[in-house]
């Protein structure tokens, strides 16, 4: 039975001292039009005001993740206003869109950026191009861990991929690049994580999830769960692990940081998505040496 996760509000400040050295906290967070520019925004959409960015920064400190895959962020400069440079390294795709995908990686974790998975933008010359995938490798003491952050086409949350609806046709075309990326990691024997806003519920016998599993066996952190974000909903933000990383995902570690604010105005100020996290226990005697930035007050 689907279970609503308990609200996670970490009110004790940054968790550096309490984090296990052999654990990696990985998060996906759609930040809903995180931009300070009014250019190229849809009607009814507005830039984030300073108080909205400040509130998101406070939640990022409370979240205290090691790796955050973020979506709908207008480049590294505005990302750094939420994920402060003393604490995080920022990586974004090279897309010329407002809703970019990227990563914030805790300082002290060795990381390098790989070429974007640009094939996910199946309309690069279109009026409304889509988002590439952000691809990084964490160079952990236990060995490399590959991560791909995605923000897939919206509008086909649960219909079959074979549906004639335009959004489903577009999502169907994004499957092959994802399958190819996953198949490459399987051929390399590499542990990997695919995470982000899939705009897909993936409940039951979902054909998108089945297509990805056909490229390599995957474990989904959100399996059998419902999100408590903004009063409760089905997950469309997911964290999938493949290769050896399937065995690293800690059972029962899925968590959602739910905003204390409940009113509609705050929802616009913050995001219509909540951060979704899971912990990975690294193999052997691997230990992450986390940088200790100047203490910041949430």
- Beta strand pairing call for 23-34 and 67-73: parallel
**8 A C-beta contact, residue 105 and residue 111:** yes
Tokens 């549906």 belong to 163
Residue 125 banded pLDDT, cuts 50, 70, 90: confident
What global pTM score does this model have? 0.93
Tokens 């390294």 belong to 89
- Residue, of 290 and 161, whose pLDDT is higher: 161
Q: What integer pLDDT is reported at residue 10 of this predicted model?
A: 32
Q: What integer pLDDT is reported at residue 295 of this predicted model?
A: 65
Count, in order, helices (H) and strands (E) of the chain. Answer: 6, 14
Return d(Cα 139, Cα 18) in angstroms, integer.
22
- Beta strand pairing call for 192-197 and 237-242: antiparallel
User: Would you state the structure tokens that stand for residue 270, as one six-digit string?
Assistant: 């913050």
- Of 36-50, 158-172, 271-285, which gets the smallest average pLDDT? 36-50
User: How many CA within 13 A on the CB side of residue 10?
Assistant: 20
Q: What integer pLDDT is reported at residue 155 of this predicted model?
A: 97
Return d(Cα 134, Cα 130) in angstroms, integer.
13
Please name every residue paired with 241 in a beta bridge, in sequence order, or none if there are none. 193, 219
Return d(Cα 252, Cα 249) in angstroms, integer.
9
Tokens 């998975």 belong to 117
Domains and CATH numbers, the chain: 20-281 (3.60.10.10)
Q: For the segment 6-30, what is each residue's pLDDT rounded down to a tens digit?
A: 334 332 233 333 468 899 999 999 9
What are the CB-based long-range contacts (under 8 Å, 24+) for 57-62?
Answer: 57/81, 57/82, 57/83, 57/84, 58/298, 59/257, 59/259, 59/270, 59/275, 59/298, 60/84, 60/104, 61/13, 61/14, 61/296, 61/297, 61/298, 62/9, 62/10, 62/11, 62/13, 62/257, 62/298
- Residue, of 205 and 189, whose pLDDT is higher: 189
Return d(Cα 91, Cα 89) in angstroms, integer.
7
* Cα torsion through 84, 88, 89, 95, rounded to 10: -60
What b/e sequence results for 247-262 when a residue is b if at least 16 CB atoms lie within 10 Å of its CB, and e otherwise?
ebbeeeebbbbbbeee
Tokens 């059972």 belong to 251
């Amino acid at each position: 039975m689907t279970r609503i996760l308990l609200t996670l509000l970490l009110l004790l400040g940054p968790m550096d001292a309490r984090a296990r050295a052999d654990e990696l906290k990985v998060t996906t967070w759609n930040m809903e039009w995180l931009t300070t520019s009014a250019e190229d925004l849809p009607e009814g959409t507005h830039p984030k005001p300073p108080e909205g960015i400040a509130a998101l920064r406070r939640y990022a400190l409370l979240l205290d993740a090691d790796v955050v895959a973020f979506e709908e962020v207008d480049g590294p400069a505005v990302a750094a206003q939420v994920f402060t440079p003393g604490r995080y390294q920022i990586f974004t795709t090279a897309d010329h869109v407002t809703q970019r995908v990227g990563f914030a990686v805790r300082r002290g974790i060795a990381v390098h950026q790989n070429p974007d998975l640009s094939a996910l933008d199946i309309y690069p010359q279109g009026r409304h191009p889509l988002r590439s995938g952000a691809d990084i490798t964490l160079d952990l003491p236990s060995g490399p861990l590959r991560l791909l952050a995605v923000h897939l086409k919206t509008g086909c949350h649960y219909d079959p991929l074979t549906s004639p609806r335009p959004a489903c046709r577009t999502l169907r075309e994004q499957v092959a690049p994802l399958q190819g990326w996953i198949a490459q990691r399987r051929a390399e024997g590499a542990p990997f994580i695919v995470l982000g806003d899939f705009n897909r519920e993936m409940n039951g016998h979902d054909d998108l999830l089945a297509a990805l599993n056909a490229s390599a066996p995957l474990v989904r952190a959100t399996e059998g769960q419902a999100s408590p974000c903004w009063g409760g909903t089905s997950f469309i933000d997911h964290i999938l692990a493949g290769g050896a990383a399937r065995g690293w995902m800690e059972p029962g570690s899925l968590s959602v940081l739910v905003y204390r604010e409940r009113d509609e105005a705050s929802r616009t100020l913050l995001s219509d998505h909540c951060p979704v996290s899971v912990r990975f226990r690294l193999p052997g005697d691997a230990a992450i040496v986390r940088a200790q930035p100047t203490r910041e007050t949430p």
